[in-house]
Structure 1
Amino acid sequence: MDPVKLMKQEVGQAAAAKVTSGSIVGLGTGSTTAFAIQFIGERLASGQLTDIKGIPTSFQASVLAKQHGIPLTTLDEVDRIDIAIDGADEVDPQHNLIKGGGAAHTREKVVDSLADQFIVVVDNSKLVDVLGSTFPLPVEVLPMAVAPVTRALQALGGQPELRLGVRKDGPVITDQGNMILDVKFNAISDPAALEKTLNNIPGVLENGLFVGVADVVLVGEVQGDSATVRTL
């Protein structure tokens, strides 16, 4: 098997192992989280887990959960989330994150922030010293406000670019019907301050900075033909 795929499986399995019976589980988006959803479903099918309900953060997560037999619920129907499992595009030494490569960061932030325990699953290429080093910051914007928000982001020193679809004409549209501006900053020295500043721009729904939300970061690494998982 491809060592990278094996590593993602190992990280996903390690995260799924932390889910206990009777839990409400936030189900994140992305390739590594997809393996966690798969393994949660396998644990349910085998009887290792019982009475699990998932809250998906995206259409993708909802489809995968149904495929693997995980019952779903909504925030209207529960008063807690016990554990959430999700990926990240960057992780700094303080466990602050950039998320949103899959354009699902708004729903992810709601679910992940409500969870009693938020577990991040990544490979070691996602570890950075300073956020913004390798990945642009996604900002979800109301379609009518793309132009003024673009100017506001430029005034903050960012270089925004409208995210375009792959194998389709036009922009990426989120599950909320909005657009994504990917903003390159030279470095994000104060993620908490920037998160608040961006969300105060009229027309911005949410940005991909997750500050002080992650509780556990599981990091997968490939060493030769084998994969290992460590806790950051």
Structure 2
Amino acid sequence: MSLTQDELKTLVGQAALQYVTPGTIVGVGTGSTVDKFIDALAASGLAVAGAVSSSVRSTERMKALGIRVLEAGEVTSLPVYIDGADEIDHAGHMVKGGGAALTREKIVADLAERFVCIADESKLVPVLGAFPLPVEVIPMAAAQIARRFAALGAQATLRAGVVTDNGCQILDVRGLQITDPKAFEADVNQWPGVVTVGVFARNRASVCLLGTAAGVKTLVF
């Protein structure tokens, strides 16, 4: 019997526990797959010193389960950051931001020595871009940035009703094929008004735990 997407998320959430060292502070991302990891961490009895969270949502979930949450500014580094992805390619580059937390996710990822991505196999792609690329923008610049994407042959639309934890807006960009994620990330991040582009190439995954019909597959990059 094949597993549901929810069951695959539970599997990879539990598998990520092997990358958590007792007594350390763990970086924790955002999203439905990460929720499974938070639940597994709380149930495991693993005594962590605390967690640095990338979103209000994850912070509230961890506090409710008795996990101590620290601010990013309280730590100088993290041994591991565990988060999901909307897409991941075969080199560990990712598209993230479906949950609108991409800037904080990138900040916490940048503190970490190792990024462990947890995802189901539908997220593994040969080329990034099929999933609409989230870009967090300062509201004043949204129309201007949308025009820049249009010049690249892509369509950027404002995500209706969404204000990020940073008080900004999200553009979702369709029609891209991101063949050089590192160069693309570096370029778009320079556009005035862009807070963060949802390509994680500089902060790519070191490991991906992929939920498949045959169980959890470990990809190392």
* Matches for 1:24-173 after TM superposition, within 5 Å: 24-44=25-45, 49-132=46-129, 134-164=130-160, 171-173=161-163
Task: Work out the CA distance in 2 between the residues paired with 1:208 and 1:3.
Answer: 27
SS of residue in 1 equivalent to 2:69 = coil
1:148: Cα distance to partner?
A: 1.2
The CA RMSD over aligned residues, in Å, is 1.5
Match status 1:231 vs 2:218: yes
Divergent runs of 4+, >6 A: none
- State the alpha-carbon separation in 1 of the partners of residues 48 and 5 from structure 2: 32
- Name stretches of at least 5 consecutive residues in structure 2 with no aligned partner: none
Q: State whether residues 97 and 131 of structure 1, in contact with CA within 8 Å, keep that contact through their aligned partners in structure 2.
A: yes
Q: Do the aligned residues in 2 keep the contact of 1:84 with 1:118 (CA within 8 Å)?
A: yes
Moved more, 152-161 or 94-103: 152-161
Report the Cα distance in structure 1 between the residues aligned to 2:154 and 2:192, rounded to whole angstroms.
17
When the two structures are aligned, how many residues end up with a matched partner? Answer: 217
- Report how far residue 2 of structure 1 moved: 6.6
Q: Is the Cα–Cα contact under 8 Å of residues 16 and 39 in structure 1 kept in the other structure? A: yes
Partner of 2:173: 183
Aligned AA (2:133): L
Q: What CA deviation, in whole Å up to 9, does each residue of 1:30-64 have, x standing for no partner? A: 111111111111223xxxx2242101101111011
C-alpha contact (below 8 Å) 1:220/1:229 kept by paired residues: yes
| Alpha-carbon distance, 1:194 to partner | 1.0
Gaps of 5+ in 1: 165-170
| Sequence identity percentage | 45
Q: Indicate the residue corresponding to 1:197 in structure 2.
A: 187
In the TM superposition, what is the alpha-carbon distance from 1:124 to its structure 2 partner?
0.4
* TM-score scaled by length of structure 1: 0.89
Using the size of structure 2 for normalisation, the TM-score is: 0.93
Note if contact 1:4-1:222 (Cα within 8 Å) is conserved in structure 2: no
CA distance in 1, matches of 2:138, 2:4: 40
SS in 2 for 1:6: helix
